[in-house]
Structure 1
Amino acid sequence: MSRGRWRDMAAEELQQQYSPSRWARRLRGDAAVRAHIEAVTAGTQRARAGTRSSLHVPYGEADGERLDLYFPAEPSETFPAFVYIHGGYWQCLRGIYLCGHSAGAHLAAMVLCTDWTEFGVVPDIRGAVLVSGLYDLEPILHTYVNDALNMSWEVAQRNSPMLCITQAVPAAAACEVLVAVAQHDSPEFRRQSQEYSQALRSAGWSVSLLDLATVDHFDIIEKLSEDTYILIQVILNMIARG
């Protein structure tokens, strides 16, 4: 399915393609979203109970600009930072590893295409895990999602990772990118993941595509709380190589 294929879709089909809850295996609609929130909330509570943490650390002035920091159980002078960005259609010094889900994967991808020289810094981003993400925002303009976002075409173009991929410089080439997609994601989500990974590879980035069987848009990330989950193993191996 080519990048322009979505233009041929009827409005209802496009709405369905970009509504992950309609593709969930276990539940449908709002029930799938509620179950996902319950699952990730329970995982967060387990993490807080089992590790040392510093919660709601501000990184900006707005109420929503907060970070939750979790530290390893064993004291160490050096350890990698793993940054997770949650999804929700943007409404909801050590080596750094990014991980984003859905709209969070879009934000992590935007970090990869940022020209950091403008800010006088070169962050040591060694890996990025992009899970069931959106990399071309133009189709979103024609769905219910844009009712709240009110994006213009220009804003969608400027903020589409697919359209701002740069040729990998040595620092970027050393960053390992994993694009993961669920078997039961919608065809449009799957297409975007496949085409974005191909575009990164063509630009010289170190990238791999992981197509995860049996999972959908929600449990692909919920299962990160399971030690034996293949995506957890891939992430730990990535960090070990870095």
Structure 2
Amino acid sequence: MSSQEQRDQAYENAAFIPDAQTYPPRWDADAKAFRAAMRCDLDVAYGDHARVRYDLFWPDTTAKGLMVFVHGGYWKARAKSDWSHFAAGGLARGYAVALPGYPLAPEVRISEITAHIARAVAALAAKVEGPIVLAGHSAGGHLVARMAMAGVLPASVAERVVRVQAISPVSDLRPLLGLTMNEDLRLDAAEAAAESPVLGQPLDHVQTSVVVGRAERPAFLDQARWLADAWETDYLILSGRHHFDVIDGLRSPDSAMMRLLIP
């Protein structure tokens, strides 16, 4: 195996997860059934791009606040509608739950995706009153961590954000510079540093947490630990969970993840 292949393999997930190919079709089916059963506003535009849309799910009673879940896919794959069912835990805890879409690499750079998610959170904040909590998985974990940092969200929105949970996040983008996927991401050293939450700090009033599966690839265990150490934050390691099922706790209102996110 070449040194390039070794570097790429460190950030490869599917090849190391049993029956990995079965997850996307199950996610798609569960998400479709969930949308059909819930009260929701689908494909609401927050900008001009075809992917700049969000889905917003409403609880049975008046919403206590807003939860936003940002999906992963290495900033270059998947879509908001693949993950609808992961709104279940937040809805059961009385929050409206939104899933924003965003343009993907190589069409846009990661810094542009960060700006799109900030606009999505601002648009959603105008729709739902109360406190705001953010959760994101993998690349989405990176994006919600960026929302916790100064100067990303409008001040009036940032002051309403109370908790942010980064699930299996890519918190330091600098190791991605040498990966083959960077042909799509187009990161340079300056952007990788500027977009790395591990090199910054969260806003003082935002309670943060980092979640990772114990069965994840070493690179993702490192990325999660780096952020937890840099931010001196709550750090939850889920036994037996890998990169594809580490988010399952979002479906249960009483999971350890949801108790951290919406106490």
Specify which of 86, 89, 92 is matched with residue 74 of structure 2: 89
Structure 1: gaps of 5 or more residues = 1-8, 202-206
Instruction: Say if 2:164 and 2:261, in contact at 8 Å, map to a contact too.
Output: no
State how far apart, in whole Å, the 1-side matches of 2:197 and 2:181 are: 18
Equivalent residue, structure 2, for 1:218: 244
Equivalent residue, structure 1, for 2:14: 21
State how far apart, in whole Å, the 1-side matches of 2:152 and 2:218 are: 33
Deviation at 1:237, TM superposition (A): 2.4
Cα distance 1:240–1:159, how it changes in 2: closer, same or farther (>3 A)? closer
Equivalent residue, structure 2, for 1:5: none
Instruction: Say if 2:11 and 2:217, in contact at 8 Å, map to a contact too.
Output: yes
Q: How many residues align?
A: 210
1:156 correspondence with 2:192: yes
State how far apart, in whole Å, the 1-side matches of 2:13 and 2:262 are: 32
Q: Which amino acid aligns with 1:121?
A: S
1:38 correspondence with 2:25: yes
Which of structures 1 and 2 has the bigger CA Rg?
1
Q: Which amino acid aligns with 1:83?
A: V
Instruction: Say if 2:249 and 2:255, in contact at 8 Å, map to a contact too.
Output: no
Root-mean-square deviation (Å): 2.2
Q: Deviations over 1:179-215 (max 9, x none)?
A: 11111211111011011101101xxxxx211111112
Q: Deviations over 1:55-96 (max 9, x none)?
A: 011111111111000000x231x4221100000111234211
Specify which of 7, 10, 17 is matched with residue 3 of structure 2: 10
State how far apart, in whole Å, the 2-side matches of 1:144 and 1:136 are: 17
Specify which of 171, 177, 180 is matched with residue 211 of structure 2: 180
Deviation at 1:19, TM superposition (A): 1.0
Specify which of 130, 136, 151 is matched with residue 100 of structure 1: 136
Equivalent residue, structure 2, for 1:4: none
- After TM superposition, the score normalised by the length of structure 2 is 0.73
- Taking only the aligned residue pairs, the percentage that are identical comes to 27
1:121 correspondence with 2:121: no
Q: Deviations over 1:144-174 (max 9, x none)?
A: 22111111111111111111225x53x2xxx
Q: Deviations over 1:4-44 (max 9, x none)?
A: xxxxx9332221111111321x13xxxx2x43322322232
State how far apart, in whole Å, the 1-side matches of 2:176 and 2:152 are: 27
- After TM superposition, the score normalised by the length of structure 1 is 0.79
Deviation at 1:223, TM superposition (A): 5.4
Q: Which amino acid aligns with 1:16?
A: Q
Q: Which amino acid aligns with 2:10?
A: Q
Secondary structure of 1:214's counterpart equals: coil
Instruction: Say if 1:39 and 1:222, in contact at 8 Å, map to a contact too.
Output: no
Instruction: Say if 1:80 and 1:239, in contact at 8 Å, map to a contact too.
Output: no
Equivalent residue, structure 1, for 2:256: 234
Cα distance 1:240–1:190, how it changes in 2: closer, same or farther (>3 A)? closer
Q: Deviations over 1:203-234 (max 9, x none)?
A: xxxx2111111121101124543x38xxx522
Cα distance 1:46–1:178, how it changes in 2: closer, same or farther (>3 A)? farther
Structure 2: gaps of 5 or more residues = 78-128
